[in-house]
Amino acid sequence: MDPCPKDGESAAAAEPSRGAAPSSGVVVQVREKKGPLRAAIPYMPFPVAVICLFLNTFVPGLGTFVSAFTVLCGARTDLPDRHKCCVFWLNIAAALIQILTAIVMVGWIMSIFWGMDMVILASKYS
């Protein structure tokens, strides 16, 4: 009589492996590829990022617009090969997209996620 697997155990785990090679540890690295607009989000001090998230939550695009000026003040981005003015205009473009599409709620949701990305980047930065 074969023992039944317990709750949470699969039948495959209850049986001994038949001819299967022992599993070796494989390290898999996942790296997120960001587009130019997402890569232009600046690494700001945490309080500034929280303020931008707050602004983006209540007035879509306003926090992104404010964050564009932090690039001119020396905030680092994931676009080191681009000039500060180019990164500034990318952030202004993202803010305009958020403002113009807020009418159909897409921009508002994008704006909130943008603010959350700012806070996440700020927490990694500090």
pLDDT one-digit tens code per residue, 76-104: 998 888 889 999 999 999 999 999 999 99
Res 25 pLDDT > 90: no
Q: What is the pTM of this model?
A: 0.72
What's the Rg (C-alpha) of the chain?
23
Return the axis-axis angle of helices 62-72 and 106-125, rounded to nearest 10°: 40
Domain boundary assignment for the chain: 43-125
Task: Looking at the chain, list the stretches that DSSP marks H as alpha helix, in order from N- to C-terminal side.
Answer: 11-14, 36-39, 46-58, 62-72, 84-100, 106-125
Res 15 pLDDT > 60: no
Res 13 pLDDT > 70: no
